Amino acid sequence: MGNKAVRWWCTLLLGLLLTGQTLAEFRVGVMTMQPGAIFWERFGHNAIVIDDGNRPMSYNFGFFDPTESGFAGNFVKGRMNYVLAALPLEQDLDYYRRAGRGVSIQWLDLDQTQKQNIRTRLEFLAKPENARYRYDYFTNNCATQVRDVLDGALEGQLKRQMVASSLGNTYRSESVRLAWPAKWMALGFDLAMGRAGDKPLNRWQDAFIPMRLQQSLREAKGENGEPLVLAEQPILRDTLAPPPAELPPWTLSATTIGLALATAFFLLSRRAPRCATVLQLGFWMSCGLIGTTLLLIWALTEHRFIYNNENLLLFSPLAWLVLILYFGRKRWEWCRKVYLLAVKAVALSAVLAVVLKFGSTGGQSNMVWILMALPLHWLVAKTALHAEVRK
């Protein structure tokens, strides 16, 4: 064999060895970002990291463009589009470092074929023509996208493990728990979510929360029965207060609020009737606003987890009719009669919410709202009807 041929074979072998070394250094990890302070950051975040030993890349499914045409309208209608962005890991980390959010990476025990499948899939999805996806907070978000890419490479093995167990969570309990530091947000989630939010979740469904996916990956096994996670590497320290580990019980608080409102109305009706009237009209207006908002979301948007909301019975849009008729009841007798019927209808609607709560199984978890609204419903209706009877 000539010297030229020897050199050619040596070059080829060296290339193969270097290629093999590069492949050996090729790692795939799941990066988890802890909750942030801004309301849309309350639920944490996930991304997939590809580290080839040269320039680690973060594949982040959590980008959206507020300047795109129709963004505000689509947001209201529940038609949000999110984008997968591939960017250098250090660049992605810079934002979370400035925001004080904790970040860690779980490096996965995958064979070369699985790793290459993940990389190929991510590179395909990151192309401009493929990067956009229809976002759904519960079923198609940054965490479920990461979950699905991993499961595709594992040929369904991850899903088979995760659907086999449950932590007893629901979409409602997880959403309210993570939003709890911002009480207005937590109460908004709880009030707006319909019956679909109370379906018990398995751990596959639980993975819409990034930290739940992180937890499940810690317990997942690979094809050989070994842990799927080789190592968990802290990257950034969390400087923010963590959300509660479990949904805080606030039934007692709701009861206290309900009784306090009813007591305030009772005392005002005897000592300051005009103030009581203001509270009465304000209550009906609040019921009308809340009920109409829930009804319009159900009828006109794609926020499907707000559909079929039994809180419509507690906060009936019929309260608008009561409010309008109140101001005409003294002028026309027919108006007074319809007003009395409307007052009864709004009150009976709230009673129906209680009947549904205790008369069916698997219903909506809205006891706290019943406890807050029902005492005032009863007292306001009784006072309004009694005032008209006296006349």
Give pLDDT, residue 6: 44
Contact 174, 133 (CB under 8 A): no
Give pLDDT, residue 15: 45
Q: Is the pTM of this model over 0.85?
A: yes
Using one digit for the tens of pLDDT, what is the confidence trace for 133-176? 999 999 999 999 999 999 999 999 999 999 999 999 999 999 99
Contact 161, 220 (CB under 8 A): yes
Q: How many CB atoms lie within 10 A of CB 4?
A: 8
Parts of the chain with a pLDDT under 70: 1-24, 360-362, 389-391
Helical segments of the chain, H only: 3-24, 71-77, 89-99, 112-125, 142-153, 157-162, 171-179, 183-192, 203-206, 210-219, 251-271, 273-300, 311-314, 319-326, 333-359, 367-390
Q: 7-39: string of b/e by CB count within 10 Å (b at 16+)?
A: eeeeeeeeeeeeeeeeeeebbbbbbbbbbbeee
Give pLDDT, residue 233: 96
Give pLDDT, residue 22: 44
Say which DSSP state 302 is in: -
Using one digit for the tens of pLDDT, what is the confidence trace for 51-62? 998 899 999 999
Query: How far apart are the C-alpha atoms of 229 and 70, rounded to whole Å?
Result: 41
